[in-house]
Amino acid sequence: MIPHVARRFVGAVHRRVIPVAALIGAIFLVWADVIARVALEPQELPIGIITALVGAPFLLVLVRRFHAVSP
Protein backbone atom coordinates (compact mmCIF):
# COMPACT_ATOMS: atom_id res chain seq x y z
CA MET A 1 0.00 0.00 0.00
CA ILE A 2 2.69 2.48 0.98
CA PRO A 3 4.71 2.26 -2.27
CA HIS A 4 1.53 3.01 -4.24
CA VAL A 5 0.93 6.09 -2.13
CA ALA A 6 4.57 7.16 -2.49
CA ARG A 7 4.35 6.86 -6.27
CA ARG A 8 1.35 9.18 -6.24
CA PHE A 9 3.45 11.80 -4.43
CA VAL A 10 6.78 11.62 -6.31
CA GLY A 11 6.19 9.70 -9.55
CA ALA A 12 7.68 6.39 -10.67
CA VAL A 13 11.40 7.18 -10.35
CA HIS A 14 12.77 4.60 -7.93
CA ARG A 15 15.45 6.95 -6.67
CA ARG A 16 12.68 9.08 -5.19
CA VAL A 17 10.08 6.40 -4.43
CA ILE A 18 12.20 4.24 -2.13
CA PRO A 19 13.11 6.93 0.46
CA VAL A 20 9.62 8.44 0.37
CA ALA A 21 8.01 5.00 0.78
CA ALA A 22 10.31 4.26 3.72
CA LEU A 23 9.39 7.55 5.39
CA ILE A 24 5.64 7.18 4.77
CA GLY A 25 5.79 3.54 5.90
CA ALA A 26 7.51 4.49 9.13
CA ILE A 27 4.97 7.24 9.83
CA PHE A 28 2.11 4.86 9.03
CA LEU A 29 3.42 2.18 11.40
CA VAL A 30 3.97 4.67 14.22
CA TRP A 31 0.37 5.90 13.92
CA ALA A 32 -0.95 2.35 13.61
CA ASP A 33 0.93 1.48 16.80
CA VAL A 34 -0.51 4.51 18.60
CA ILE A 35 -4.03 3.54 17.53
CA ALA A 36 -3.43 -0.09 18.55
CA ARG A 37 -2.32 1.00 22.02
CA VAL A 38 -5.12 3.54 22.58
CA ALA A 39 -8.11 1.72 21.04
CA LEU A 40 -8.67 -0.69 23.95
CA GLU A 41 -6.89 1.24 26.67
CA PRO A 42 -5.89 -1.34 29.26
CA GLN A 43 -5.12 -3.88 26.51
CA GLU A 44 -3.27 -3.59 23.22
CA LEU A 45 -4.48 -4.68 19.82
CA PRO A 46 -2.00 -6.38 17.53
CA ILE A 47 -0.68 -3.81 15.06
CA GLY A 48 -1.53 -6.21 12.23
CA ILE A 49 -5.23 -5.66 12.88
CA ILE A 50 -4.87 -1.93 12.35
CA THR A 51 -2.76 -2.32 9.21
CA ALA A 52 -5.23 -4.88 7.85
CA LEU A 53 -8.17 -2.54 8.49
CA VAL A 54 -6.42 0.09 6.38
CA GLY A 55 -4.82 -2.23 3.82
CA ALA A 56 -7.77 -4.45 2.95
CA PRO A 57 -9.99 -1.65 1.60
CA PHE A 58 -6.98 -0.27 -0.26
CA LEU A 59 -6.41 -3.67 -1.87
CA LEU A 60 -10.06 -3.90 -2.86
CA VAL A 61 -9.86 -0.50 -4.54
CA LEU A 62 -6.74 -1.56 -6.47
CA VAL A 63 -8.31 -4.85 -7.56
CA ARG A 64 -11.50 -3.12 -8.64
CA ARG A 65 -9.52 -0.55 -10.63
CA PHE A 66 -7.43 -3.24 -12.30
CA HIS A 67 -10.49 -5.33 -13.08
CA ALA A 68 -12.26 -2.36 -14.65
CA VAL A 69 -9.31 -1.70 -17.00
CA SER A 70 -8.79 -5.25 -18.27
CA PRO A 71 -11.29 -6.65 -20.82
Q: How far apart are the first and last CA of the chain?
A: 25
Domain that holds residue 57: 2-69
Task: Check residue 70 and give its pLDDT.
Answer: 61
Task: Check residue 5 and give its pLDDT.
Answer: 94
CB atoms inside a 10 Å sphere around CB 21: 20
State the total domains in the chain: 1
Task: Check residue 65 and give its pLDDT.
Answer: 86
Question: What are the per-10-residue average pLDDT scores of the chain (71 residues)?
Answer: 94 96 97 95 93 95 81 61
- For residues 6 and 64, the answer to whether their CB atoms sit within 8 Å is no
